[in-house]
């Protein structure tokens, strides 16, 4: 049985020293190479034997949208004004009310500094979305090669196009509307590298479609609700329509495949899901933002980990992952090992929320806009 040390490189999931010891050692690199030993599989069985994937593929073909023509890029974005509106409506400063800032560097921060923090945080968040989208592009191209089923190869090909569009849209928004990029967060990079390196085709799905995209779908939904900026709102809504299909693709494919696995193999999937969950939680600590704001990162993150409001927001990021893991049988297999881990992470309360196997039809904003036009 793997220990926390084996899975995530530390015994205590809240060990800040260990979390901060993982840093992006080469922030100036332009090309990053990941070795993958996966087999590329041809299938000579062209029979369309998986109706749920056929349906998803048909939907994907008619729900394509165009970054350059379907969004109104003439909308001006005043980033400071957007940040101030968000802060006024949600969290006034970067921390929830339960956090006492007395005696911390934040105690003397001016309004301008809080706004700057909000701006950096937005640049950081969108930059990580951008890098994550490229991860999805690469993982899904890998699935086209490695998945043995023809219906899944067809569908994955449409997702490759979707992900190229997502990389394009976030890069364009960052360049034209925001005020700076961040390199990839080290925890996210580690997770993407692990997913790509694993040569079992279903692990690519679990890491990307279930975990990374499940979290992205929740995060996009959350920011879509919070933001007052109309271009970002619409952009996120369109990306979410695609992401809901991608998560459905993961759930529908793995549901079938997991039926063939024995308990040892299922346990390996549970451990991988746990590792991915921890990496994603670590990445949302936003350590690079505090670094850029010139505060001691460890002190700042100690406050972050104590912040109940943030914990609640971050918990929400798992609101798609947990029900999908349950639907796949991962939560309760092997005496509920993953249930216990998700309980420790404080996210088990989402287990009975809607899973994402069918949600994509409701979220298809593109089809709604077309039928309204
Ligand atoms: Fe995407
Ligand atoms: Fe996606």
> Residues 65-104: pLDDT tens digits?
999 999 999 999 999 999 999 888 876 667 888 888 999 9
Report pLDDT for 123.
Answer: 97
State in Å: Cα 95 to ligand 1 middle. 29
Q: Within 13 Å of residue 130, how many CA atoms lie on the same side as its CB?
A: 20
Query: Residue 91's pLDDT is what?
Result: 66
In this structure, the chain runs to a length of 373
| Distance from Cα 240 to the centre of ligand 2, integer Å | 8
- Residue 217: CB partners within 8 Å, gap ≥ 6? 240, 243, 244, 247, 320, 356
Ligand nearest to the CA of 140: 2
Q: How much distance in Å is there from the Cα of 144 to the middle of ligand 2?
A: 14
Distance 213 CA to ligand 1 centre (A): 7
Which of 306, 333, 232, 319 minimizes the C-alpha distance to 277?
A: 319
* 12 alpha carbon – ligand 2 mean position (Å): 31
pLDDT on residue 87: 85
CA of 282 to the centre of ligand 1 (A): 21
Q: How far apart are CA 7 and CA 272, in angstroms?
A: 8
Residue 100 to residue 80: CA distance in whole angstroms:
26
Q: What is the dihedral of CA 280, 283, 285, 290, to 10 degrees?
A: -170
d(CA 338, CA 344): 10
- Tens digit of pLDDT for each residue in 221-264? 999 999 999 999 999 999 999 999 999 999 999 999 999 999 99
pLDDT at position 1 over 80: no
pLDDT over 90, % of the chain: 78
Q: HSE on the CB side for 12, CA within 13 Å? A: 5
> Residue 299, SS3?
helix
Alpha helices per DSSP H over 186-262: 186-197, 201-204, 213-226, 230-258
Cβ atoms 212, 283 nearer than 8 A: no
Rounded distance between C-alpha atoms, residue 331 and residue 270, angstroms: 8
Neighbours of ion ligand 1 (CB under 5 A): 133, 136, 163, 166
Q: Ligand 1: distance of its center to the CA of 92 in Å?
A: 30
Burial of 322 (0-12, 13-18, 19+ CB in 10 A): buried
The structure's pTM equals 0.96
Whole-angstrom Cα distance, residue 75 to residue 83?
16
Residue pointed to by tokens 């798609």: 320
Dihedral angle computed from the Cα positions of residues 328, 334, 338 and 341, in that order, rounded to the nearest 10 degrees: 170
Mean pLDDT of the residues in the chain: 94
How far is ligand 2, taken at its centre, from the CA of residue 355, in Å?
A: 16
Instruction: Tell how far the Cα of 252 is from the centroid of ligand 2, in angstroms.
Output: 15
Cα(110) to centroid(ligand 1), Å: 37
**Alpha-carbon separation of residue 82 from 76, 130, 175, 226 (angstroms):** 11, 20, 17, 10
The pLDDT tens digits for 9-41 are 999 888 888 898 888 777 788 999 999 989 999
188, 283 Cβ separation under 8 angstroms: yes
Q: How many angstroms is it from 162 CA to the middle of ligand 1?
A: 7
Q: What per-residue confidence (pLDDT) applies to 312?
A: 85
Ligand 1 centre distance from Cα of residue 127 (Å)? 13
CB atoms within 10 A of CB 236: 25
Buried b (16+ CB within 10 A) or exposed e, 214-223: bbbbbbbbeb
If 0-12 CB within 10 Å is exposed, 13-18 middle and 19+ buried, where does residue 259 land? Answer: exposed
Say what the pLDDT of residue 55 is: 97
Give the Cα separation of 333 and 318 in Å (integer).
Answer: 19
Over 90: is that where the pLDDT of 277 sits?
A: yes
208 Cα–ligand 2 center, Å: 8
Q: How far is CA 159 from CA 198, 255, 286, 350, in A?
A: 20, 19, 28, 27
Average of per-residue pLDDT across 33-51: 96
Question: Residue 361: which pLDDT band, with cuts at 50, 70 and 90?
Answer: confident
288-324 pLDDT tens trace = 999 999 999 999 999 998 898 888 888 899 999 999 9
Determine how many CB atoms are found less than 10 A away from the CB of residue 279.
Answer: 24
């Amino acid at each position: 049985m793997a220990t926390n040390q084996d899975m995530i490189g530390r015994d205590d999931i809240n060990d800040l020293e260990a979390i901060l010891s993982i840093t992006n050692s080469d922030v100036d690199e332009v090309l990053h190479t990941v070795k993958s030993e996966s087999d590329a599989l041809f299938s000579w069985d062209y029979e369309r034997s998986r109706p749920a994937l056929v349906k998803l593929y048909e939907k994907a073909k008619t729900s394509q949208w165009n970054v350059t023509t379907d969004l109104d890029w003439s909308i001006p974005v005043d980033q400071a004004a957007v940040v101030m509106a968000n802060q006024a409506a949600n969290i006034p400063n970067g921390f929830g009310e339960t956090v006492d800032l007395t005696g911390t560097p934040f105690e003397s921060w001016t309004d301008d500094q809080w706004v700057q923090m909000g701006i950096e945080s937005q640049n950081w968040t969108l930059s990580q979305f951008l890098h994550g989208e490229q991860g999805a592009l690469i993982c899904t191209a890998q699935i086209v090669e490695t998945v043995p089923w023809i219906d899944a190869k067809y569908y994955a090909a449409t997702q490759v196009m979707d992900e190229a569009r997502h990389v394009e849209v976030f890069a364009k928004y960052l360049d034209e509307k925001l005020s700076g990029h961040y390199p990839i967060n080290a925890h996210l990079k580690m997770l993407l590298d692990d997913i790509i390196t694993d040569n079992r085709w279903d692990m690519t799905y679990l890491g990307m479609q279930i975990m990374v995209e499940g979290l992205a779908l929740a995060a996009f939904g959350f920011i879509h609700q919070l933001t007052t900026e109309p271009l970002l709102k619409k952009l996120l809504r369109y990306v979410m329509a695609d992401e809901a299909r991608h998560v459905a693709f993961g759930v529908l494919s793995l549901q079938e495949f997991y039926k063939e696995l024995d308990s040892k193999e299922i346990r390996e999937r549970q451990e991988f899901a746990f590792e991915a969950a921890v990496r994603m939680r670590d990445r949302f600590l936003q350590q690079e933002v505090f670094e850029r704001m010139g505060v001691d990162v460890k002190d700042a993150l100690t406050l972050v980990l104590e912040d109940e409001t943030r914990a609640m927001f971050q918990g929400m990021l798992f609101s798609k992952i947990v029900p999908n893991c349950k639907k796949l049988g991962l939560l309760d297999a092997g005496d509920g090992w993953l249930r216990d881990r998700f309980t420790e992470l404080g996210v088990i309360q989402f287990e009975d929320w809607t899973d994402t196997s069918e949600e994509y039809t409701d979220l298809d904003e593109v089809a709604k806009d077309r039928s309204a036009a």
